[in-house]
């Protein structure tokens, strides 16, 4: 770029030299500050976009057969294909339960009361523990000789230990324990964004507490619930450690990520592993797309009462 000292000839000064153009670009948010985005963009390209495209390419390059051979093998083998349903069967109910359980608790915890902070900490602590610690706790607590079963046996409520780990239930518990705090924090912040005088206004208009929730709070909260559901679903969908540690990784909890892991590190079929990863991505996008379509039909404007 040449910088001319003669202000009368801005047109010949090159791309950045035309004050009119620069001004027009700045109006659209294009200016030097955009460079601040560069590091993030670089990270995005190097750590996400490139590996993603590399994996996509890899999935179309099987060791033998045509380009779609990995996908054909995946979808024709029920042992592989069924992992999609297994994963959805675990992640969808877990995400739904997390959101649904978070709403009444967060709703009740609006406003100030004694012990609010302590209660919040207790509800949020599991998120800081990590999946492995949670799994270990579950193994000790829910296992055949764990406290729960020993109590149930002592009370003669059951004749033999209830099987709560190394199956679907174990993974489900683990996903709820680790996913709930996340959903709770999100729902709480969405709720705090809703003007509390709306609730008072509804009360003076004759709405009881259920109607106030149903007719005022819930419609304003719903878009936030959709977002919360998407995020907890993504967390649950890529479940791996708990599916192995407290699940039945060869059978009822053989989720997509386990299938991909086995393809990559047990069969060394990177093309197949990549194909499974791509299937995961597509299924996730379909679910999120559906939820966002529904969200699009909701009111998503201001929740502050004042326009």
Partner 1 sequence: MAVSTPQRFAELRLAGVGRRFGATTALSDLDLTIRSGEFVALLGPSGCGKSTALNCLAGLLPLTSGSIWADGTRIDTVPPERRGFGMVFQNYALFPHLTARRNVAFGLQMRRLAKDEVRRRTDAALRLVQLAEHADKLPAQLSGGQQQRVAIARAIVLEPALVLMDEPLSNLDAKLRLEMRTEIRRLHQSLGLTTVYVTHDQEEALSLADRLVVLRDGRVQQVGTPEELHTQPVNWHVADFMGYRNLLPGTAVSVAAGRAEVTCGGLRLAGAAVGPVRAGDNVIVGVRPDDLAVGAGPNAIAAVVEVVEYRGNDVAVEARAGDGTALHLRTTQRLAPGDEVTLISDPARLLVFAAEPDAAPSEPDSAPAAPAEVRS
For residues 92 and 287, the answer to whether their CB atoms sit within 8 Å is: yes
Name the one range near partner 1 by CB under 8 A: 116-124, 145-153, 200-208, 266-274. 200-208
Distance of closest approach, residue 225 Cβ to partner 1, in angstroms: 14
Is residue 216 near partner 1 by the rule CB under 8 A? Answer: yes
Cα distances (Å, whole numbers) of residue 12 to 2, 24, 26, 32, 282: 9, 17, 20, 21, 50
What is the spatial distance between Cα 89 and Cα 84, in angstroms, rounded to a whole number? Answer: 8
DSSP helix/strand/coil, 14: coil
Smaller CB distance to partner 1: residue 18 or 195? 195
Torsion angle in degrees (nearest 10) through CA of 267, 270, 273, 277 = 170
Is residue 136 near partner 1 by the rule CB under 8 A? Answer: no
Q: Where are the alpha helices (DSSP H) in the chain?
A: 19-27, 38-44, 50-59, 69-76, 78-108, 116-129, 131-142, 147-154, 168-192, 196-204, 209-212, 218-237, 241-245, 256-265, 270-296
For residues 226 and 95, the answer to whether their CB atoms sit within 8 Å is: no
Distance of closest approach, residue 294 Cβ to partner 1, in angstroms: 16
Smaller CB distance to partner 1: residue 143 or 223? 223
Name the one range near partner 1 by CB under 8 A: 6-14, 41-49, 70-78, 197-205. 197-205
Is residue 303 near partner 1 by the rule CB under 8 A? Answer: yes
Is residue 112 near partner 1 by the rule CB under 8 A? Answer: no
Task: Indicate which single residue of 220, 263, 275, 279 sits in contact with partner 1 (rule: CB under 8 A).
Answer: 220
Distance of closest approach, residue 132 Cβ to partner 1, in angstroms: 43
Task: Indicate which single residue of 19, 130, 208, 289 sits in contact with partner 1 (rule: CB under 8 A).
Answer: 208
Interface contacts to partner 1, rule CB under 8 A: 195, 197-198, 200-208, 211, 215-216, 219-220, 299, 301-307
């Amino acid at each position: 770029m040449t910088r001319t000292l003669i202000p009368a000839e801005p047109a010949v000064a090159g791309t950045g030299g035309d004050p009119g153009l620069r001004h027009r670009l700045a109006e659209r948010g294009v200016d030097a500050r955009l460079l601040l985005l560069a590091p993030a963009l670089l990270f995005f390209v190097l750590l996400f976009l490139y590996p993603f495209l590399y994996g996509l390419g890899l999935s179309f390059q099987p060791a033998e057969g045509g380009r779609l051979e990995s996908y054909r093998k995946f979808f024709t083998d029920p042992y592989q294909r069924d992992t999609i349903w297994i994963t959805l069967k675990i992640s969808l109910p877990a995400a739904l339960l997390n959101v649904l359980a978070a709403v009444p608790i967060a709703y009740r915890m609006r406003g100030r009361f004694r012990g609010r902070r302590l209660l919040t900490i207790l509800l949020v602590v599991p998120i800081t523990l990590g999946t492995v610690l949670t799994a270990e706790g579950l193994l000790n607590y829910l296992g055949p000789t764990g406290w729960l079963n020993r109590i149930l046996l002592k009370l003669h409520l059951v004749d033999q230990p209830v099987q709560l780990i190394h199956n679907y239930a174990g993974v489900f518990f683990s996903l709820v324990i680790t996913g709930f705090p996340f959903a709770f924090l999100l729902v709480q912040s969405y709720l705090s964004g809703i003007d509390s005088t709306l609730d008072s206004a509804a009360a003076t208009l004759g709405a009881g507490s259920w109607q106030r929730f149903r007719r005022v709070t819930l419609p304003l909260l719903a878009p936030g619930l959709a977002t919360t559901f998407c995020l907890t679903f993504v967390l649950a969908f890529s479940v791996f450690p708990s599916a192995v540690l407290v699940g039945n990784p060869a059978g009822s909890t053989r989720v997509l990520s386990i299938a991909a892991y086995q393809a990559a590190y047990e069969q060394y079929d990177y093309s197949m592993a990549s194909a499974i990863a791509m299937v995961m991505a597509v299924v996730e996008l379909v679910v999120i797309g559906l939820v966002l379509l529904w969200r699009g039909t909701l009111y998503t404007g201001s929740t502050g009462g004042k326009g």
